[in-house]
Amino acid sequence: MTGQNAGIIGMGHSYPEGILTNADLEKMVETNDEWITTRTGIKQRHKAADNEYTSQFGTRAALQALERAGLEPTDIDIILCATTTPDQIMPSTGALIQAQIGATNAAGMDVFAACSGFLYGLTMVESMIRTGQIRYALVIGAEVLTKYVDYTDRGTCVIFGDGAGAAVIGPVPEGKGILSTKIKSDGRYEEQLYAPGGGTKLGTSHQTIDDRQHFFKMKGNELFKVAVRSMADISAEMVKKAGYTVDDIDIVIPHQANQRITDAVAARLGVPDEKVYSNIAEMGNTSSASIPIAIDECIQSGRIKEGTLALLTAFGGGVTWGGTVIRF
Ligand code: COA
């Protein structure tokens, strides 16, 4: 690719202190720790308090990422906040975070691509930096999913958790940063994971509230198959496009959807388990936040170092998916 390479130059993450364990869920719906653990790999998830909301976590993650990048909020040209659980319908959570961090030179907006949102954001700012249109971007994945989860539906309520991760993206030397990236969607699968109520199609009414239409609805086992196929295929394509083979990849950071999805994607790609990062046991599925949280954890623990070749892949409602190969 010609032009300026773009890469991650600072990361941060944040999540609520509140924890919802499998034992807590056993008291809310007919489920048990053994079922949740074997079907999903999840042991606990973080849950925001009633007075906590998405932009707060996004802001904390963004400020940490800026500090680690050695930049000021005013250095940022664009803030893309990937979220499906915004503070409110308008203005965007990206604009609210812009105000909270004082990024007065930036444009703030949201990326609405469910669990793939962080890779959507990365892909968009990569080309903006490559072409010289901007210098520094903040890409944030921030979610408070637990406020959209129906705690009477055992099929969805065991999966989701809250949190945020942020990346400062900027110019990096040739051979480093984002080497290949691609995003895709297929809206025909709309009803595999959706929240039908509260928009212009099914506007908020007493009826929609009584019918619980504002909560996430999911066809988990159908989603499972499409997710595995889509993530594995786009990953293989992006590794090849970057000029590598799967064996060259040092670490795979998949969206933390379900441990069985992660295992199946790794098996399909032929990547050994020890190269695949997972924090799903402690974090659950935090949608667009899962990849940036995982990257930051890997940097902090030393699993990602200067020179590490990483494959990121995501899948989410829409359906949406993406793959990115990045050299740190
Ligand atoms: N506890 C106990 N039993 C449960 C349960 C729970 N929390 N949730 C569902 N079940 C039951 C179902 O009712 C069903 O019972 P039945 O056979 O009597 O009808 C049985 O378990 C199997 O349900 P199924 O939905 O086929 O299970 P599954 O193995 O597909 O696992 C998911 C369900 C949701 C864990 C799994 O499909 C999944 O994780 N899918 C992907 C979800 C995802 O990643 N979403 C986000 C995408 S980004």
DSSP string, 36-97: HHHHH--SEEE---TT--HHHHHHHHHHHHHHHHT--GGG-SEEEEE-SS-SSSSS-HHHHH
Cβ of 158 closer than 6 Å to ligand 1, yes or no, is yes
pLDDT for position 104: 98
Q: Are residues 60 and 189 in the same domain?
A: no
Q: Is it the case that residue 1 has pLDDT exceeding 90?
A: no
DSSP string, 222-258: HHHHHHHHHHHHHHHHHHHHTT--GGG-SEEEE--S-
* pTM of this structure: 0.97
What angle separates helix 259-269 from helix 220-241, to the nearest 10 degrees?
40
pLDDT band at 255 (very low <50, low <70, confident <90, very high): very high
Q: Are residues 129 and 213 in the same domain?
A: no
pLDDT digits (tens, 9 = 90+) for 216-227: 999 988 899 999
Q: Are residues 212 and 161 in the same domain?
A: no
pLDDT digits (tens, 9 = 90+) for 10-69: 999 999 999 999 999 999 999 999 999 999 999 999 999 999 999 999 999 999 999 999
- What's 285's DSSP letter? B
pLDDT digits (tens, 9 = 90+) for 93-140: 999 999 999 999 999 999 999 999 999 999 999 999 999 999 999 999
Intra-chain end-to-end CA distance of the chain, in Å = 17
Q: Are residues 115 and 194 in the same domain?
A: no
What is the distance between the alpha carbons of residues 45 and 283, in angstroms, rounded to a whole number?
A: 5
Q: Are residues 142 and 285 in the same domain?
A: no
Cβ of 214 closer than 6 Å to ligand 1, yes or no, is no
Q: Are residues 217 and 126 in the same domain?
A: no
Is 81 in the active site?
no
Cβ of 39 closer than 6 Å to ligand 1, yes or no, is yes
- Catalytic, out of 46, 157, 285, 298: 285
Query: For the purposes of burial, counting CB atoms within 10 Å of the CB of 154, is it exposed (0-12), middle (13-18) or buried (19 or more)?
Result: middle
Q: Are residues 262 and 190 in the same domain?
A: yes
Q: Is it the case that residue 2 has pLDDT exceeding 90?
A: no
Q: Are residues 217 and 316 in the same domain?
A: yes
Is 157 in the active site?
no
State the SS3 of 140-204: EEEEEHHHCCCCCCHHHHCCECEEEEEEEEEECCCCCEEEEEEEEECHHHHHHEECCCCCCCCCC
pLDDT for position 194: 94
Measured by CA distance, the residue closest to atom 14 of ligand 1 is 155
Q: Are residues 221 and 120 in the same domain?
A: no
pLDDT for position 40: 97
Q: Which residues pair with 14 in a beta bridge?
A: 164
Domain CATH code at residue 155: 3.40.47.10
Count the domains in the chain.
2
Q: Is it the case that residue 81 has pLDDT exceeding 90?
A: yes
pLDDT digits (tens, 9 = 90+) for 132-191: 999 999 999 999 999 999 999 999 999 999 999 999 999 999 999 999 999 999 999 999
Mean pLDDT, range 259-277, rounded to an integer: 97
pLDDT for position 183: 98
pLDDT for position 221: 87
Q: Are residues 184 and 169 in the same domain?
A: no
Q: Which of 139, 174, 209 is the last residue of a domain?
A: 174
Is 255 in the active site?
yes
What angle separates helix 93-101 from helix 54-69, to the nearest 10 degrees?
50
Residue 188 CB: number of other CB atoms within 10 A? Answer: 9
Q: Is it the case that residue 76 has pLDDT exceeding 90?
A: yes
Backbone angles phi, psi at 103, to 5 degrees: -90, 70
Query: Domain limits at 162?
Result: 5-174
Q: Which residues pair with 285 in a beta bridge?
A: 160
Q: Are residues 163 and 199 in the same domain?
A: no
What is the distance between the alpha carbons of residues 235 and 245, in angstroms, rounded to a whole number?
A: 11
- What's 104's DSSP letter? T
Q: Are residues 154 and 183 in the same domain?
A: no
pLDDT band at 203 (very low <50, low <70, confident <90, very high): very high
Query: For the purposes of burial, counting CB atoms within 10 Å of the CB of 51, is it exposed (0-12), middle (13-18) or buried (19 or more)?
Result: exposed
pLDDT for position 287: 98
> What percent of the chain is modeled with pLDDT above 70?
100
